[in-house]
């Protein structure tokens, strides 16, 4: 029987890699390595990474609410210093199983048969998973960057459905879940550069307590105002929390890093 | 409104090398391939970041378009022009 | 209050317009006109057309289960003799209302902000609706041409949800629903040219009786075997039936037309 | 398997004028832009309709690709080569 052995949240801020202001960042890059070690020790065989498209992969002709690529993977296609566009170990059969379970459970997930992933998936896949390809990745793209946004409760319920899919898998697998996203950040708006540590703490507190209610009761307007349009990515954290209900968390690193524009939080969520 | 056509143009310029080159070479001719209203065409051709933002173009896409055309070093210029998200939220909630 | 004033099913077979064998077809083209007259007389102000993408509009990078375009419309982009690529009267506000209602009801419909439609939507829009633009169209694309296919029950439930959305609209509107699709047909397979009138009759019988059960209890393999890969388009009829539960139907025209490759059925479904 | 890359190539050739022209001009060079396996590349370059159908390529897409490259008058030739859907269903259910 398959089971979830751990959950993580982490950012994918491109500026952390471009590092235009040449700021100290080893401790942040180190947080990815710390998670990679934890994933290795957990014996994980599969990873599901929840991320956003930033209007790079999907154009105005097809904007999905949820999308799972079911083919081979590589990325990030938007290459970053230290994070090249290279193959990502995939498992089309597992991806198709999740799509089938989603459809059967009333989630109308779109699919991609051929997709190079962007930094939202590529950064965690390349930095937080073992480099030997032993952990096969399934990405889940959620509409967190382009409206209409996935509803918060729906993001949480999607995670619950994924947890159910894993519990019902007839084979032995150990799965880690990754919510990929910055906390507060403004992208392409006049506020860009602002980081709201108060919002970031509120989000991290929910992850630590394992109680998603305060996040689920926010409106999108509140998130936009306090966490920016980038803050809409908390949907990815909610998906992980939905799959690990009542799982308490631990913050591994947090910084309102002045080398970039994003509240950077790394945390672990343990199964209850 | 033909809002979607503006986003399609921006998407093409941001993500496709050929489209980027074509827009840089002759923006007016490039824009003619998209069903833009007169207002939209004017905003696109004049790179009117403020107007396009207020019109509702996705800010990530707008920034991507701007820096595709003007280069990454143009970011400060872009940010000095683009309105805040908060100003838009206030418009909506009024 | 908005209400559904009628439902229709009709084909969108390109060969009916190309007419390569120069066969008599006036009676079939006439069926579109007959429906157009019925729509005019019904006082309809809106139309929702359910159709399939044939791997023309959406590529392998994003294959949606359900997709609603919310911008301006034109088509069919795959121009046909007598059916030019021209504007289709649209109502972005109504389209967005339907998307919002779908999301709220647990249907993860994808959106397109800018889309020229293909013949699946373009043929009914140009031939079966008044030419004066008085009826505004919202297309609904369903995964009936490219796997993974929308499940039959989900197609029916989607129609029910649309019916609910219309019933809850706070404004006075009269809506017609159109299920666009051939009955039995094989496209790009060795059987191409075969028409299975028995399958066609079974489908039309369900529409006449208003009982979707026999359709809902078919497996996809049965449909493929008896109705071809094109026969998967009965999903569009199921959506109309779901929105008009127990609505009895009347066949306006049917022919296993030897000028083409498709069982061509035109029918009306009256609200119960 | 890189199945999706084959469908992406077919989709591009079927729906994009430039891709169609490029494939017709030099199919080998065009195919190199897609991450195809050797088997896939051979089937694509030899226009092996039978093999591609059995491989699971969507029949509508396969037909669209074939007629984009060979013209609409090639339909009888295509149909004489392509297997029946029923033959595939039997394979699956065995
Ligand atoms: Fe992001
Ligand atoms: Fe069709």
- Binary contact (D83, C189; C-beta < 8 A): yes
Alpha helices in D1-94 (DSSP H): 3-15, 17-25, 27-31, 38-45, 49-55, 59-70, 75-81, 85-93
- Distance from C-alpha of D79 to C-alpha of C35, rounded to nearest angstrom: 35
Strands C263-269 and A115-116: unpaired
Q: Does C148 touch chain D (CB under 8 A)?
A: no
On whether the CB atoms of residues A185 and A13 are closer than 8 A, the answer is yes
> What pTM does this model have?
0.97
Query: Which sign does the torsion angle of CA D31, D36, D37, D43 carry?
Result: negative
Could you tell me which of A99, A174, A171 has the C-alpha nearest to residue A141? Answer: A99
Q: Does A112 touch chain D (CB under 8 A)?
A: yes
Q: Does C87 touch chain D (CB under 8 A)?
A: no
Q: What is the mean pLDDT of chain A?
A: 97
- Binary contact (D60, C192; C-beta < 8 A): no
How far A75 CA sits from the closest chain C CA (Å)?
14
- Distance from C-alpha of C222 to C-alpha of D92, rounded to nearest angstrom: 13
Distance from CA of residue D52 to its chain's centroid? 6
Tally the domains of chain D.
Answer: 1
- Binary contact (B5, C71; C-beta < 8 A): yes
CB under 8 Å to B86, separation ≥6 — which residues?
Answer: A191, A225
How far D69 CA sits from the closest chain C CA (Å)?
15
Q: Could you give the maximum distance between any two Cα atoms of chain C, in Å? A: 50
- Distance from C-alpha of C194 to C-alpha of C196, rounded to nearest angstrom: 7
Measure C126 CA to ligand 2 centroid, in angstroms: 16
- Distance from C-alpha of A21 to C-alpha of A25, rounded to nearest angstrom: 11
Q: Could you give the maximum distance between any two Cα atoms of chain A, in Å? A: 50
Closest Cβ opposite residue C64 in set A110, A150, A151? A110
On whether the CB atoms of residues A257 and A266 are closer than 8 A, the answer is no
Question: Residue C246: exposed, middle, or buried by beta-carbon count in 10 A (0-12, 13-18, 19+)?
Answer: exposed
Q: What is the CATH number of the domain that holds D20?
A: 1.10.700
On whether the CB atoms of residues A66 and A150 are closer than 8 A, the answer is yes
CB under 8 Å to C165, separation ≥6 — which residues?
Answer: C97, C98, C101, C102, C105
Instruction: Give the closest ligand to the alpha carbon of residue C187.
Output: 2
- Distance from C-alpha of C13 to C-alpha of A77, rounded to nearest angstrom: 40
Size of interface A-D (CB pairs under 8 A): 24
How far B72 CA sits from the closest chain A CA (Å)?
11
Question: How large a percentage of chain A has pLDDT more than 90?
Answer: 98
- Distance from C-alpha of C64 to C-alpha of D46, rounded to nearest angstrom: 31
Residue D93, pLDDT score? 45
Which chains share 3+ C-beta pairs under 8 angstroms with B?
A, C
Measure D82 CA to ligand 2 centroid, in angstroms: 20
Q: How many CB atoms lie within 10 A of CB C40?
A: 15
Residue D92, pLDDT score? 52
Give the model confidence (pLDDT) of A135-160 as tens digits: 999 999 999 999 999 999 999 999 99
Angle between helices D3-15 and D38-45 (to 10 degrees): 30
Residue B92, pLDDT score? 52
Residue B94, pLDDT score? 39
Give, as one character, the DSSP assignment of residue A134. -
Give the C-alpha distances (Å, rounded to integers) separating A169 from A101, A134, A173, A246: 10, 19, 8, 22
Measure A36 CA to ligand 1 centroid, in angstroms: 20
Residues from chain C contacting residue A71 (CB–CB below 8 Å): 60
Residues from chain C contacting residue D91 (CB–CB below 8 Å): none
Give the C-alpha distances (Å, rounded to integers) separating C86 from C23, C69, C73, C126: 26, 16, 9, 8
| Residues of chain B contacting A, Cβ within 8 Å | 4, 7-8, 11-12, 14-15, 53, 58-64, 79, 82-87, 89, 92-93
How far A56 CA sits from the closest chain B CA (Å)?
7
Residue A79, pLDDT score? 84
CB under 8 Å to D4, separation ≥6 — which residues?
Answer: A70, A71, A72, A112, A113, A114, A115, C60
Q: Does A93 touch chain B (CB under 8 A)?
A: no
pLDDT one digit per residue (tens) for chain B, 94 residues: 468 999 999 999 999 999 999 999 999 999 999 999 999 999 999 999 999 999 999 999 999 999 999 999 999 999 999 999 999 887 654 3
- Binary contact (A62, C60; C-beta < 8 A): no
Give the model confidence (pLDDT) of A11-34 as tens digits: 999 999 999 999 999 999 999 999
Size of interface C-D (CB pairs under 8 A): 69
Q: Helix, strand or coil for residue D21?
A: helix
How far B42 CA sits from the closest chain A CA (Å)?
21
Give, as one character, the DSSP assignment of residue A61. T
Q: Does C228 touch chain D (CB under 8 A)?
A: yes
- Distance from C-alpha of C242 to C-alpha of C36, rounded to nearest angstrom: 22
Residue B91, pLDDT score? 63
> How many Å from the N-terminal Cα to the C-terminal Cα in chain A?
18
- Binary contact (D7, A113; C-beta < 8 A): yes
The first and second tokens of residue D12, run together, are 């591009």
Residues from chain A contacting residue B12 (CB–CB below 8 Å): 59
Residue C134, pLDDT score? 97
The Cβ-side half-sphere exposure at C192, using a 13 Å CA radius, reads: 18
The secondary structure of chain C as a DSSP string is --EEEEEEEE---THHHH-TT----HHHHHHHHHHHHHHHHHT--EEEEEEE--SSSS-TT-B-SEEEE-S-EEE-SS-BTTB--EEE-B-HHHHHHHHHHHHHTT---EEESSEE--HHHHHHHHHSS-TTS-SEEEEEEESSSSSSPPPHHHHHHHHHHHHHHHHT-SS--EEEEEEE--SSB-SSSTTTT---HHHHHHHHHHHHHT--HHHHT--HHHHHHHHTTGGGGHHHHHHHHHHSTT--EEEEEEEE-TTSSBEEEEEEE---
pLDDT one digit per residue (tens) for chain C, 272 residues: 799 999 999 999 999 999 999 999 999 999 999 999 999 999 999 999 999 999 999 999 999 999 999 999 999 999 899 999 999 999 999 999 999 999 999 999 999 998 999 999 999 999 999 999 999 999 999 999 999 999 999 999 999 999 999 999 999 999 999 999 999 999 999 999 999 999 999 999 999 999 999 999 999 999 999 999 999 999 999 999 999 998 999 999 999 999 999 999 999 999 98
Measure A134 CA to ligand 1 centroid, in angstroms: 26
Q: Helix, strand or coil for residue A255?
A: strand
Residues of chain B by 3-state class (helix, strand, coil), percent to 5: 80, 0, 20
Q: Which residues pair with A9 in a beta bridge?
A: A179, A267
How far D80 CA sits from the closest chain C CA (Å)?
7
> Which residue segment(s) compose the domain that B76 sits in?
4-93
Closest Cβ opposite residue B89 in set A54, A193, A225? A225
- Distance from C-alpha of A60 to C-alpha of A69, rounded to nearest angstrom: 18
The predicted model gives A103-108 an average pLDDT of 98
On whether the CB atoms of residues D49 and D82 are closer than 8 A, the answer is yes
Alpha helices in chain A (DSSP H): 15-18, 26-42, 92-104, 119-127, 152-167, 197-209, 213-216, 220-227, 234-243
Instruction: Give the closest ligand to the alpha carbon of residue C76.
Output: 2
- Binary contact (D60, C188; C-beta < 8 A): yes
Buried b (16+ CB within 10 A) or exposed e, C229-245: bbbbbbbbbbbbbbbbe
Question: How large a percentage of chain D has pLDDT more than 90?
Answer: 89
Instruction: Give the closest ligand to the alpha carbon of residue A76.
Output: 1
Angle between helices C220-227 and C197-209 (to 10 degrees): 120
Distance from CA of residue A230 to its chain's centroid? 13
Give the model confidence (pLDDT) of A49-92 as tens digits: 999 999 999 999 999 999 999 999 999 999 899 999 999 999 99
- Distance from C-alpha of C196 to C-alpha of C200, rounded to nearest angstrom: 6
Q: Does C71 touch chain B (CB under 8 A)?
A: yes
The predicted model gives A192-205 an average pLDDT of 98
| Residues of chain D contacting A, Cβ within 8 Å | 1-5, 7-8, 35
- Binary contact (D4, C60; C-beta < 8 A): yes
- The answer on pLDDT for D94 being more than 60 is no
- Distance from C-alpha of B57 to C-alpha of B76, rounded to nearest angstrom: 19
Residue C193, pLDDT score? 97
What is the interface pTM, i.e. ipTM, of the complex? 0.96
Instruction: Give the closest ligand to the alpha carbon of residue C52.
Output: 2
**Homologous superfamily of the A3-269 domain (CATH):** LigB-like (3.40.830.10)
Instruction: Give the closest ligand to the alpha carbon of residue A53.
Output: 1
Instruction: Give the closest ligand to the alpha carbon of residue A54.
Output: 1
The predicted model gives A114-133 an average pLDDT of 96
Question: Residue A27: exposed, middle, or buried by beta-carbon count in 10 A (0-12, 13-18, 19+)?
Answer: exposed
- Binary contact (A114, D1; C-beta < 8 A): no
Residue ranges covered by each domain of chain C? 3-269
Could you tell me which of A172, A165, A163 has the C-alpha nearest to residue A269? Answer: A163
By CA distance, what is A93's nearest residue in D?
A: D1
């Amino acid at each position: 029987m398959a089971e979830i052995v751990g959950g993580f949240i982490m950012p994918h801020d491109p500026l952390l890699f471009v590092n235009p202001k040449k700021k100290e960042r080893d401790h942040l890059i180190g947080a990815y390595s710390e998670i990679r070690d934890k994933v290795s020790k957990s014996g994980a065989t599969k990873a599901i990474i929840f991320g956003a498209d930033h209007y790079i992969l999907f154009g105005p002709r097809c904007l999905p609410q949820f999308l799972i690529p079911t083919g081979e993977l590589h990325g990030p296609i938007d290459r970053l210093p230290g994070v090249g566009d290279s193959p990502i170990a995939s498992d089309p059969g597992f991806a198709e199983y999740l799509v089938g379970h989603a459809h059967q459970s009333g989630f109308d997930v779109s699919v991609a048969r051929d997709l190079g992933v962007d930094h939202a998936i590529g950064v965690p896949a390349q930095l937080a998973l073992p480099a030997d390809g032993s952990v096969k990745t399934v990405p889940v793209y959620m509409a967190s960057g382009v409206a209409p946004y996935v509803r918060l409760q729906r993001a949480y319920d999607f995670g619950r459905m994924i947890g159910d899919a894993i519990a019902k898998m007839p084979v032995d697998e150990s799965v880690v879940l990754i919510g990929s996203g910055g906390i507060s950040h403004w992208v392409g708006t006049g506020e860009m550069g602002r980081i709201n540590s108060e919002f970031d703490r509120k989000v991290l507190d929910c992850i630590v307590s394992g109680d998603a209610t305060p996040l689920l009761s926010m409106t999108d307007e509140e998130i936009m105002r306090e966490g920016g349009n980038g803050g809409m990515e908390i949907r990815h954290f909610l998906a992980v929390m939905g799959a690990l209900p009542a799982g308490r968390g631990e913050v591994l690193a947090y910084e309102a890093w002045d080398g970039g524009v994003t509240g950077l939080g790394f945390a672990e969520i343990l199964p209850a | 409104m033909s809002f979607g056509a503006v986003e399609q143009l921006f998407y093409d310029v941001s993500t496709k090398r050929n489209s980027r080159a074509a827009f840089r070479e002759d923006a007016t001719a490039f824009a003619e391939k998209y069903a833009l209203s007169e207002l939209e065409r004017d905003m696109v051709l004049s790179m009117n970041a403020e107007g396009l933002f207020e019109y509702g173009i996705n800010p990530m896409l707008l920034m991507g378009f701007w820096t595709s055309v003007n280069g990454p070093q143009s970011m400060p210029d872009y940010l000095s022009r683009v309105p805040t998200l908060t100003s838009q939220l206030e418009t909506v909630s009024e």
